[in-house]
A and B are shown apart, each in its own frame.
Chain A
Amino acid sequence: MIFLLAIAIGSLFAGAVYLILRRSVAKLILGLMLLSHAVNLLIFTMGDGGVRRGALPIVDYYTGEVMPNTTDPLVQALILTAIVISFGITAFIMALAYRATQAMKTDDLDDMANTDRL
């Protein structure tokens, strides 16, 4: 399972980098979204089921025994936070990109070099 996840993460990163390097603003945003998914999956593999296999996820308060059928809740909390944040930022970027492409009348990042030249 961890190998499948590794391949999935690698593919997501590759796709994200490819899309970010394209010239279109819309593809740039898609690339950023893929990138955030890739990172979320990466964090997911960092729990006790992945890299830290065998680490204690949750122990019983009284006996100190490892609880059966539990998994590391912290990575899930981290991912949840990251998802919410990237959701908000993606919404902001979409609005910004929409206004920017409207104002510049182009979707091509190479044409957006006016503030560099000034």
Chain B
Amino acid sequence: MANHLFLPLISPMLAAALALIFTRTKTRNVARGIVLTSVVFNLAYSLWLVWTVATTGIQVTQAAGWEAPFGITLVADGASALMLCVATLLMLVTMSYSFASLDPGYENFFYYPLLLLLLLGVSGAFLTGDIFNLYVWFEVLLLASFGLMTLGGSRAQLEGGLKYVVLNLLGSTAFLMACGLLYGTVGSLNMAHVAERMQSVNNPGIVTVIACLFFFAYGGKAAILPLFFWLPTSYHTPPVAVTAIFSGLLTKVGAYSLYRVLGLVLQDELVRLAPFVLVIAGLTMVVGVFGAMAQMNVRRILSFHIISQIGYTIMGLGLASAVGLAAGLLFTVHVMIVKTALFFIGGAAEQIYGTGDLKKMGGLAQREPLLAIFWFLGILSLAGIPPMSGFFGKLALLQAGVNQGAIGISVIAAFTGILTFFSMLKIWNEVFWKKSYGDMSKLPRVTPGLLLPGALLVMISLALGLGAGVLVDYSQMAGMQLFDRAGYIASVCGVQGCEAIVEAALR
């Protein structure tokens, strides 16, 4: 029993409730202090959890002491601990960026409690070991994100928000449908138990239907090819801090759930569907990056790049092996950090000019050289150029792809990397490099509060690239755990398996 797994859920819940009391402008420093304390605590805890999982293995606890297949299980293995850690880090950085960049009006309307509830939903989704519970955490994080997306109520936000809400709701409905069918087929929703019973289900048709429904539901949240339309239409409308944290967390929760449910629970089905998954991954990469090339707005370009990068994550899934999942995980961690950093830096440029339109920007390299340096390092990392972390993420994916004979997708992935660099250079040229048309002396200077969050994340990406060995080893361990069905069942239900516990209870 590792009851400490409840701590990262209790802390943001309590802090969100407390921060609600202090939303007025007069007491806003109290609210900031409370939310910061909670997030710093979560970060410290998740770092400790990463270390604990690496040294002592999978951590499991059962809610209210109900034995595994009957109650709700919380499980922290390598993948969930790593994702939890990165998500909390991003939340901490986003908080500090919000302190510097946000209108006070937002703080009066429950901005920080919503951020904490988002963190709560994300942490819960990473830690849960029960599929219906995962659905509930998804709804928690979606409702918080709905609030954040539309907070402010500008015209664009309402319009983008409506599309975002409706398309995500359709995904949730498919998720619920898949839960129902899964329960009807195997009679359990505990991931370990489902994984165990899946091996003896002799009805391949319904299992394929369930796997495809899950793929549709999580794929919609992760913004894979035919389901990404909610993303570029809504991500440029809310404040920069909100877009940044969304880009870091939301699509990645979808990707993580794909890894967990298809990679672990419905593993045999994933192996069967792998060629289709790889095709979708390739198309997502290419369509995302071409979409980005056609845009002329900083945040819309970055939004399309989210889609393109999700293609790489899905490629890791489509390789359907421990090595593939490990590589995909490594890449996802890198892209969460770098993408958020780029949104922060691009957003800082946007705040200086008061617009995200590339045609109206220019000349920022001369005026804000630090911002330009960090932006350039960031796009090097996104494109996958050593020594930044992106290089190792892509290298691992390409190695796994080539070793498994998936040459086509590997070529597309390498090609997309070049196109990514090309379309990021467009922002570099337009915003930083070209001459400014207007008089720049009246524009505001970048404040440390706007610069430092992005700079910090870029430095972390550089550090992860220079010390890549640690993260590569860890992600390989996490990939092994993620693909090791027997090991997962044994750590949740004991070596006898979940069925033995059910038998014992019936006797």
Chain A residues within 8 Å of B, Cβ to Cβ: 20, 25, 28, 32, 35-36, 39, 42-43, 45-47, 50-52, 55-56, 59, 64, 74-75, 78, 81-82, 85, 88-89, 92-93, 96-97, 99-100, 103-104, 112, 114-116, 118
Contact = CB atoms under 8 A, between A and B. Distances in A.
A99 B158 contact: yes
Contacts of A82: 176
A16 to B, nearest CB: 9
Given A25-B162, A46-B180, A115-B233, A81 B300 contact: no
A45 B143 CA distance: 28
Contact of B173 (A39, A78, A81, A96): A39
Nearest to B356: A118
The 6 closest A-B pairs by CB, nearest first: A46-B184, A43-B180, A100-B158, A51-B184, A115-B160, A103-B155
Interface string B137-172: 001001100100010010110111111011001100
Contacts of B153: 99, 103
Interface of B: 132, 136, 139, 142-143, 146, 150, 153, 155-156, 158-163, 165-166, 169-170, 173, 176-177, 179-181, 183-185, 187, 232-234, 236-237, 297, 300, 506-507
B124 to A, nearest CB: 14
Contacts of A100: 158-159, 161-162
A25 B156 CA distance: 16
B233 A52 contact: no
B158 A46 contact: no
Contacts of A81: 132, 136
Contact of B236 (A20, A25, A78, A118): A118
B159 to A, nearest CB: 5
A82 B139 CA distance: 10
B237 A93 contact: no
Given A32-B169, A56-B506, A100-B158, 8 more contacts: A51-B185, A59-B506, A78-B132, A78-B183, A88-B143, A89-B146, A114-B156, A115-B163
B187 A78 contact: no
A112 B159 contact: yes
A112 B160 CA distance: 9
Contact of A64 (B159, B185, B297, B507): B507
A64 B179 CA distance: 28
B300 A118 contact: yes
B162 A112 contact: yes
A43 B175 CA distance: 12
Contacts of A20: 170
Nearest to A78: B132
Nearest to B206: A51
A104 B159 CA distance: 8
B236 A89 contact: no
Contacts of B233: 115-116
A104 B236 CA distance: 18
- Of the candidates A51, A81, A96, A112, the one having the most CB atoms from chain B within 10 angstroms of its own CB is A96
B183 A64 contact: no
Contacts of B177: 39, 42
A85 B139 contact: yes
Contacts of B173: 32, 35-36, 39
A93 B169 CA distance: 10
A90 B155 CA distance: 21
Contacts of B143: 88-89, 92
A104 B176 CA distance: 32
A100 B150 CA distance: 10
B169 A115 contact: no
B140 to A, nearest CB: 9
A39 B143 CA distance: 20
A49 to B, nearest CB: 11
Nearest to A114: B159
A116 B230 CA distance: 10
16 contacts: A39-B180, A43-B179, A46-B184, A47-B184, A74-B183, A78-B179, A78-B180, A89-B142, A89-B143, A93-B169, A96-B162, A103-B153, A103-B155, A103-B158, A103-B159, A112-B162
Contacts of A75: 180, 183
Contact of A96 (B139, B165, B506): B165
A112 B163 CA distance: 9
